[in-house]
Amino acid sequence: MERTTRAVHGRGRILAQVLLCLSLGAGCALLGVKEQREVFEGLVRLRGQARLDVPSASPLVVVLSRASEDPGAMSSPSGDHTGFIVDHFPLDRAGSFAFLVAPGSYRLSAFADENANLVYDPGEPALANQPVFDLTPGRTLDGLELVIPHDRSLDRRYDILALQARTPKDQQSFSLGRFTVRGEVVDLHDEKFGPASGDMGMWRFADFLFEVGPGIYFLEAYDPKKIPVLFVHGIGGYPQQFASLIERMDRERFQPWFYLYPSGVHLDALARHLTEVVTELQLRHGFDQLAVVAHSMGGLVARSFVLDYQKSSGRSDVRVFVAISSPWGGSESAAKIAEAPQDLMVYSWLDMDPASGFLQGLFYEPPDYRRPRPLPAQVQFHMVFGYKREEGSRGPSGDGVLTMKSETRMEAILSARSILPLDYDHAGILASDEAATRLDAILRDAFE
């Protein structure tokens, strides 16, 4: 008991350090990998289901609030308050929601977003006044069920994004959603999208949330006449690696987006986060076609996202998925992760173990992993991968980072519409003319 108490207090101390850095407007760059892990392990996970009591196709929004009595908070007609809005989770329909937050006292509410504007408008069905949860470090609260009554509503309009506090004073209510980027227009040449962010995302993944900001970035304002192409980098990767591919795209027909994320985090969590962000962007912009281009470990995140997004939303927006040099078979070195020092181990390595449940779940249905788990029928899947011939070898040995065995896992090969091996190393393939030409042809053919 004493050891457990000491561990909980330790995680609380580390998290307090991070929150102090935030309140002072400073980063937490002095935290090592071990401390970065302790920050995540000290956070609270909330998971559950939300639905209307009468089946409906309306989008839903689940709102997480800090339990308080604030006059600006969402409240019911009776005057009861939900508290400061800390985070929100959009759903295209009834389904699962999840939050990752700092310890504290919270309350959940939800509403049917009938006009899909991420604003609560008077008259929309709403659920408020839910019990307060007192959450301690490292706790997981699962199995929550929110049933929104169709005949109850609130008497005020609430702009969820505008009310979601982001001032230093309110950072004590840390949540992943608070730092998530949802369509900010940026310049790809900004150093924020270069190697330093890739390095931070792998080794200082907690710092990354505060200093960089995970999410989807745009290179131009959303244009409903153009099809989004979402780029997903790999472990230690960064968006500028896709510059050559983007330069060769037909920018009259396609608009490049990119998912920037901390690559040291568990891959299933990243896929769920990506699903949440894409769902919100779809509700906001109404697109019905999307292409996904991923490199290296990003291919694993992207495939998990494609599967999750279709399951959670029921939508068939993703039409094309191009994976470039992805480790479908994992990494043999990752299998030795248990031998790594705790101050060097990052979470994503665990998922790269060839025997990991995450890798199995990309191709087979959990929990027994016996039934195949194919990509949705409308998704055209294409593979591009690199290889190098070593002197004296009888065949290609991989791309200098990944083995051919991992890049050419049979389940991936059999589901691909096209396969293109190129004589480039792991990073160089992204700058090759051949890869750019193939991507351009795939996009043109798919969206004629």
For residue 15, give both structure tokens. Answer: 């998290």
CA distance 106 to 88: 13
- Please give the pLDDT value at position 210: 82
Q: Produce one character per residue of 386-410: b if its CB has 16 or more CB atoms within 10 Å, e if not.
A: bbbeeeeeeebebbebbbbebbbbe
We report the CATH number of the domain holding residue 427 as 3.40.50.1820
User: Do 377 and 310 sit in the same domain of this protein?
Assistant: yes
User: Do 36 and 58 sit in the same domain of this protein?
Assistant: no
| Average pLDDT over all residues of the chain | 84
**Domain around 127:** 44-176
Contact criterion met (CB below 8 Å) for 157 and 121: yes
Give per-residue pLDDT as tens, 72-129: 445 544 344 445 788 899 998 899 998 888 888 888 999 999 998 889 999 999 998 7
When mean pLDDT is compared across 16-30, 189-203, 232-246, the lowest value belongs to 16-30
User: How confident is the model over 365-389, as a mean pLDDT?
Assistant: 94
C-alpha distances in Å from residue 135, one per residue of 19, 66, 174, 175: 17, 11, 13, 13
Coil vs helix vs strand at 159: strand
Handedness of CA 204, 209, 210, 212 (dihedral sign): positive
- Please give the pLDDT value at position 344: 64
Give the pTM: 0.81
User: Do 112 and 256 sit in the same domain of this protein?
Assistant: no
- Please give the pLDDT value at position 162: 77
β partners of residue 61: 90, 111
Is residue 139 very low, low, confident or very high in pLDDT (cuts 50, 70, 90)? confident
For residue 189, give both structure tokens. Answer: 């040449």
- Please give the pLDDT value at position 31: 55
Is residue 8 very low, low, confident or very high in pLDDT (cuts 50, 70, 90)? very low
Exposed, middle or buried, 376 (CB in 10 Å: 0-12/13-18/19+)? middle
- Where are the strands (E) in 67-211, listed by range? 84-91, 95-101, 104-112, 119-120, 126-127, 133-135, 140-148, 158-159, 181-185
Candidates 6, 13, 14; CA nearest to 39 is 14
Number of domains, the chain: 3
User: Do 14 and 58 sit in the same domain of this protein?
Assistant: no
Q: How far is CA 293 from the centre of its chain?
A: 15
- Please give the pLDDT value at position 13: 43
User: Do 125 and 221 sit in the same domain of this protein?
Assistant: no
Higher pLDDT, 374 or 78: 374
User: What is the secondary structure of 42-68 as a DSSP string?
Assistant: TSEEEEEEEEESS-----EEEEEEES-
CA distance 89 to 178: 11
When mean pLDDT is compared across 155-169, 216-230, 240-254, the lowest value belongs to 155-169
Is residue 422 very low, low, confident or very high in pLDDT (cuts 50, 70, 90)? very high
Among 176, 202, 218, the domain boundary falls at: 176
> Which among 66-75, 91-100, 188-197 has the top mean pLDDT?
188-197
- Please give the pLDDT value at position 57: 86
Neighbours of 39 (CB within 10 A): 23
User: Do 36 and 55 sit in the same domain of this protein?
Assistant: no
Per DSSP bridges, beta strands 119-120 and 95-101 are unpaired
- Please give the pLDDT value at position 337: 60
User: How confident is the model over 151-158, as a mean pLDDT?
Assistant: 90
User: Do 166 and 186 sit in the same domain of this protein?
Assistant: no
Is residue 342 very low, low, confident or very high in pLDDT (cuts 50, 70, 90)? low
Q: What one-letter code names the amino acid at 326?
A: S
User: How confident is the model over 390-413, as a mean pLDDT?
Assistant: 82
User: Do 209 and 324 sit in the same domain of this protein?
Assistant: yes
Residue 322, pLDDT above cutoff 60: yes
- Please give the pLDDT value at position 332: 76
Among 176, 194, 227, the domain boundary falls at: 176
For residue 367, give both structure tokens. Answer: 């929990």
Among 115, 149, 176, the domain boundary falls at: 176
User: Do 86 and 229 sit in the same domain of this protein?
Assistant: no
DSSP H or E run through 381:
strand 380-386
Give per-residue pLDDT as tens, 231-278: 999 999 999 999 999 999 999 999 999 999 999 999 999 999 999 999
Report residue 84: phi and psi, to 5°: -55, 130
User: Do 20 and 124 sit in the same domain of this protein?
Assistant: no
User: How confident is the model over 411-423, as a mean pLDDT?
Assistant: 96
User: Do 155 and 226 sit in the same domain of this protein?
Assistant: no
Report residue 399: phi and psi, to 5°: -110, 15
We report the CATH number of the domain holding residue 167 as 2.60.40.1120
- Please give the pLDDT value at position 84: 73
Residue 15, pLDDT above cutoff 80: no
User: Do 228 and 112 sit in the same domain of this protein?
Assistant: no
